[in-house]
């Protein structure tokens, strides 16, 4: 009886602790999402159930171009960001130099710079009359690089560069945390028995950090597949990222189509989130053994 | 002198390893800090005409211009008001939830953790438009609370996951020892649990604060025309103002973040922050 009472008490405690956050999450996350999903299946004029919005996205030539463009810009961002972050994280983990400690204290800042500010700063450097171009104007006129126009804005290159600016610090942070969990002594003992650097990396460091790499990749994917500000300010008009396309549909009052675009992006994110969940569960299973 | 400038000789002088380090540092600084540092001379330029590399005259002309805009001061005040309120609100709402998720094992725990991840998986723009429609229905459009909730939306996951990670790392036996010594649950929480978990909570609060200061699109969609923040003004600045005014704005916006990061430097490590992205 006493035990039952304390069980009931702790259940009430849990509910009480969780309720405010859950109510807010239901109101500003779950309810809007459900609304959007319903809307994406509605006919704009009658409100009846239809697949028209989705079939438009998959058959319209422009919309399909936007979808493919979004996927390849995002995938390229993820691959490049993870590659450079891994290199940087390895360097930060295994170098004792002063330079490494300087970078360690500086690399997190970009994560805390508002997107808008960073995009603006990058624009000032990369634009065809920006800092890079002005530097090239200092070169002798006979040189080919004189008045060099980077041509990095209003196309995929600019978006990817800006994405890397935001995501390398983030992914480096996640991967560094994983690498710092690998003790130096096991690496050293592998070296003692004659394992080469490449072998140690592929047999030891990579397997021990791969789950965190997947976590980093998931978040990089999710934040970039739906990005709006960066492509809106420095991306092209055609093809455009789905986030910008969504906004455009919304402004022209095609709410149902906008909802379908939202759900499509959500679907892409969910696929990557499944990778995340799977990695997390697998890790937990491993810990249990 | 010329001899020493040759890359091969520089490498020899520095040593292969250190030369590698110097190159890493150089690329790192140019890519990540170059654009930010470039804002400094731009913001204090009175005259910066193409193709001059550096401004031809310096001064505060554009600072005066920006601060004289009728809405700018109001926007700065609003930004901080929203940041403070949304951080406090997020702490009040999320800390108990984080504690429950960290300390109790119950059915659906994982699912609830995931619920907060979903907010990050759904496109923000889609979320704002959908929330906007709901706001119209219930009269939250263009209200303080409406904007506040939008600001919480972006940081809720970290506000739950980071403190939850911090609470998990508090050794349970320390809490039990305090309870055995006769301390009540509230006293134990404030005297044992909170001091140990504090760094994680502080970092989460900083996240929420900086996230709120940096929020632009959502505020633009549900707050205008009544509530302008530095960020919504920045949108206009990027599109219509001269470049140097934009740099002034960029600096005004970054400075609070840098000050905060500096104040929190002892708490912020990649390891602490990384916990906000791992579900335990």
Q: Which residue of A has its CA nearest to B32?
A: A165
Q: Does the distance separating the beta carbons of A29 and B28 come in below 8 Å? A: no
Inform me whether the C-beta atom of residue A267 falls under 8 Å from chain B C-beta atoms: no
**CB-based burial, A125-148: b 16+ in 10 Å, e otherwise:** bbbeebbbbbebbeeeeeeeeeee
Q: Does the distance separating the beta carbons of B131 and A109 come in below 8 Å? A: no
Tell whether the model's pLDDT for residue A284 goes beyond 60: no
- Cβ contacts (< 8 Å) between A21 and chain B: which residues? 93-94, 96-97, 156, 160
What is the tens place of the pLDDT at every residue in A219-254? 999 999 999 999 998 888 889 999 999 999 988 989
B277 or B233, which is more confident: B233
A203 or B11, which is more confident: A203
Tell whether the model's pLDDT for residue B279 goes beyond 80: no
pLDDT of residue A283: 61
Q: Are A162 and A119 in contact (CB under 8 A)?
A: yes
Lowest mean pLDDT among A49-53, A86-90, B199-203, B241-245: B241-245
How far apart are the CA of A87 and the nearest CA of chain B, in angstroms? Answer: 10
A2 or B111, which is more confident: B111
Q: pLDDT band at A65, cuts 50/70/90?
A: very high
- DSSP letters along A8-47, please? HHHHHHHHHHHHHHHHHHIIIIIHHHHHHHHHHTB-TTT-
Tell whether the model's pLDDT for residue A4 goes beyond 80: no
- CATH fold, domain B65-277, is MetI-like fold (1.10.3720)
* Domain extents in chain B: 2-43, 65-277
- In chain A, the domains with their CATH numbers are 53-262+275-288 (1.10.3720.10)
Q: Treating both helix axes as pointing N-terminal to C-terminal, what angle do B109-121 and A206-225 enclose, rounded to 10 degrees?
A: 50
The most confident of A13-22, A65-74, A275-284, by mean pLDDT: A65-74
Contacts (Cβ under 8 Å, ≥6 apart) of B217: A228, A229, B124, B125, B128
Longest dimension (CA), chain A: 93
Q: Is A54 helix (H, G, I), strand (E, B) or coil?
A: helix
What is the tens place of the pLDDT at every residue in A83-103? 999 999 999 998 888 899 899
What is the tens place of the pLDDT at every residue in B143-166? 999 999 999 998 888 899 889 988
Average pLDDT, chain A: 89
Query: Distance between CA atoms of B239 and B253, rounded to whole angstroms?
Result: 17
pLDDT of residue B16: 73
Q: Is A253 helix (H, G, I), strand (E, B) or coil?
A: coil
How far apart are the CA of B31 and the nearest CA of chain A, in angstroms? Answer: 8
Lowest mean pLDDT among A102-111, B63-72, B146-155: B63-72
- In sign, the C-alpha dihedral spanning B279, B94, B154, A122 is negative
Query: Distance between CA atoms of A224 and A69, rounded to whole angstroms?
Result: 12
pLDDT of residue B1: 47
Q: How many CA atoms lie within 13 A of B90 on its CB side?
A: 34
Report the percentage of chain A scoring pLDDT > 90. 52
Query: Distance between CA atoms of A60 and A63, rounded to whole angstroms?
Result: 5
Q: Are strands B45-47 and B57-58 parallel, antiparallel or unpaired?
A: antiparallel
Tell whether the model's pLDDT for residue A68 goes beyond 90: yes
pLDDT of residue A288: 43
pLDDT of residue B3: 57
Q: How many CA atoms lie within 13 A of A251 on its CB side?
A: 8
pLDDT of residue B268: 77
How far apart are the CA of B250 and the nearest CA of chain A, in angstroms? Answer: 5
**The pTM is what?**
0.90
- Cβ contacts (< 8 Å) between A259 and chain B: which residues? 126, 130
What is the tens place of the pLDDT at every residue in B169-192? 888 888 888 888 888 888 888 888
B residues 217-276 lying closer than 8 A (beta carbon) to A: 217, 231, 234-235, 238, 243, 246-247, 250, 253-254, 257-258, 260-261, 265, 268, 270-271, 273-275
User: What DSSP designation does A205 have?
Assistant: I
Tell whether the model's pLDDT for residue B271 goes beyond 60: yes
Distances from the Cα of B222 to the Cαs of A57, B116, B215, in angstroms? 27, 22, 12
Tell whether the model's pLDDT for residue B114 goes beyond 80: yes
Inform me whether the C-beta atom of residue A108 falls under 8 Å from chain B C-beta atoms: yes
Inform me whether the C-beta atom of residue A22 falls under 8 Å from chain B C-beta atoms: yes
- Closest to A33 (Cβ–Cβ): which among B25, B122, B156? B122
- Cβ contacts (< 8 Å) between B96 and chain A: which residues? 16-18, 20-21
Radius of gyration (C-alpha) of chain A in whole angstroms: 24
Inform me whether the C-beta atom of residue A194 falls under 8 Å from chain B C-beta atoms: no
Longest dimension (CA), chain B: 77
- CA proximity to B117, closest of A81, A30, A96: A30
What average pLDDT score do residues B224-230 get? 85
Query: Distance between CA atoms of B215 and A114, rounded to whole angstroms?
Result: 8
Q: pLDDT band at A3, cuts 50/70/90?
A: low
- Closest to B129 (Cβ–Cβ): which among A105, A258, A276? A258
Convert chain B into a string of H (helix), E (strand) and C (coil): CHHHHCHHHHHHHHCHHHHHHHHHHHHHHHHHHHHHHHHHHHHCEEECCCCCCCCCEECCHHHHHHHHCCCHHHHHHHHHHHHHHHHHHHHHHHHHHHHHHHHCCCCCHHHHHHHHHHHHHCCHHHHHHHHHHHHHHHCCCCCHHHHHHHHHHHHHHHHHHHHHHHHHCCCHHHHHHHHHCCCCHHHHHHHHHHHHHHHHHHHHHHHHHHHHHHCCHHHHHHCCCCCCCHHHHHHHHHHHCCHHHHHHHHHHHHHHHHHHHHHCCCCCCHHHHHHHHCCC
Inform me whether the C-beta atom of residue B101 falls under 8 Å from chain A C-beta atoms: yes
B235 or B255, which is more confident: B255
Q: Does the distance separating the beta carbons of A137 and B53 come in below 8 Å? A: yes
pLDDT of residue A79: 97
- DSSP letters along A150-187, please? ---SSSHHHHHHHHHHHHHHHHHHHHHHHHHTS-HHHH
Query: Distance between CA atoms of B279 and A61, rounded to whole angstroms?
Result: 40
Inform me whether the C-beta atom of residue A30 falls under 8 Å from chain B C-beta atoms: yes
Q: Are B273 and A108 in contact (CB under 8 A)?
A: yes
A residues 116-145 lying closer than 8 A (beta carbon) to B: 116-125, 129, 131, 133-135, 137-138
Q: Does the distance separating the beta carbons of B121 and A133 come in below 8 Å? A: no
Token readout for A257 is 């189509």
Q: Does the distance separating the beta carbons of A110 and B32 come in below 8 Å? A: yes
Q: Does the distance separating the beta carbons of A222 and B261 come in below 8 Å? A: no
Tell whether the model's pLDDT for residue B13 goes beyond 70: no
What is the tens place of the pLDDT at every residue in A112-165? 899 889 999 999 899 888 888 888 888 888 888 888 888 888 889 999 999 999
What is the tens place of the pLDDT at every residue in A22-39? 999 999 999 999 999 999
Average pLDDT, chain B: 86
Tell whether the model's pLDDT for residue B4 goes beyond 80: no
Query: Distance between CA atoms of B53 and B23, rounded to whole angstroms?
Result: 24
């Amino acid at each position: 009886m006493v035990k039952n009472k304390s069980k009931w008490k702790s259940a009430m405690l849990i509910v009480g602790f969780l309720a405010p956050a859950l109510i807010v999450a239901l109101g500003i996350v779950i309810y809007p999402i459900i609304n959007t999903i319903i809307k994406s299946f509605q006919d704009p004029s009658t409100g009846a159930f239809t697949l028209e919005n989705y079939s438009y996205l998959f058959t319209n030539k422009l919309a399909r171009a936007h979808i493919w463009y979004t996927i390849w810009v995002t995938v390229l961002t993820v691959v490049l960001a993870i590659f450079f972050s891994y290199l940087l994280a390895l360097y930060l983990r295994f170098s004792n130099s002063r330079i490494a400690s300087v970078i360690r204290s500086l690399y997190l800042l970009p994560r805390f710079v508002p997107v808008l500010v960073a995009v603006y700063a990058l624009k000032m450097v990369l634009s065809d009359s920006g800092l890079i171009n002005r530097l090239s104007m200092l070169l002798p006129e006979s040189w080919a690089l004189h008045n060099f126009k980077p041509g990095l804005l209003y196309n995929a290159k600019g978006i990817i560069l800006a994405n890397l600016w935001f995501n390398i610090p983030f992914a480096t942070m996640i991967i560094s945390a994983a690498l710092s969990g690998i003790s130096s002594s096991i690496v050293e003992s592998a070296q003692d028995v004659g394992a080469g650097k490449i072998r140690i990396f592929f047999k030891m460091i990579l397997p021990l950090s791969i789950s965190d790499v997947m976590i980093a990749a998931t978040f990089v994917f999710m934040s970039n597949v739906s990005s709006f500000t960066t492509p809106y300010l420095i991306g092209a008009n055609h093809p455009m990222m789905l986030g910008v396309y969504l906004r455009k549909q919304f402004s022209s009052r095609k709410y149902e189509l906008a909802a379908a675009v939202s759900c499509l992006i959500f679907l892409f994110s969910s696929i990557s989130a499944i990778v995340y969940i799977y990695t997390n569960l697998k890790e937990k299973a491993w810990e249990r053994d | 002198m010329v001899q020493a400038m040759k890359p091969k000789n520089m490498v020899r002088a520095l040593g292969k390893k250190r030369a590698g380090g110097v190159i890493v540092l150089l690329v790192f600084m140019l890519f990540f800090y170059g654009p930010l540092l470039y804002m400094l001379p731009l913001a204090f330029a009175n005259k910066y005409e193409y193709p001059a590399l550096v401004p031809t005259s310096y001064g505060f002309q554009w600072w005066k211009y920006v601060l004289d805009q009728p809405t700018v001061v109001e926007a700065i005040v609003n930004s901080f008001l929203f940041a403070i309120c949304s951080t406090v609100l997020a702490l009040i709402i999320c800390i108990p939830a984080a504690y429950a998720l960290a300390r109790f094992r119950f059915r659906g725990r994982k699912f609830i953790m995931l619920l907060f991840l979903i907010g990050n998986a759904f496109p923000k723009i889609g979320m704002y438009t959908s929330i906007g429609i709901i706001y119209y229905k219930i009269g939250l459009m263009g209200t303080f609370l409406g904007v506040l909730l939008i600001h919480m939306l972006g940081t809720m996951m970290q506000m739950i996951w980071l403190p939850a990670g911090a609470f998990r790392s508090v050794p349970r036996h320390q809490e039990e020892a305090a309870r055995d010594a006769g301390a009540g649950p509230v006293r134990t929480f404030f005297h044992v649990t909170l001091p140990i978990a504090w760094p994680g909570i502080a970092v989460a609060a900083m996240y929420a604060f900086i996230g709120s200061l940096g929020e632009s699109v959502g505020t633009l969609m549900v707050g205008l025309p009544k509530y302008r923040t530095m960020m919504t003004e920045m949108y206009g600045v990027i599109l219509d103002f001269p470049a140097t005014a934009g740099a002034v704005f960029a600096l005004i916006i970054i400075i609070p973040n840098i000050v905060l990061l500096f104040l929190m430097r002892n708490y912020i490590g990649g390891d602490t922050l990384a916990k906000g992205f791992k579900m335990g």
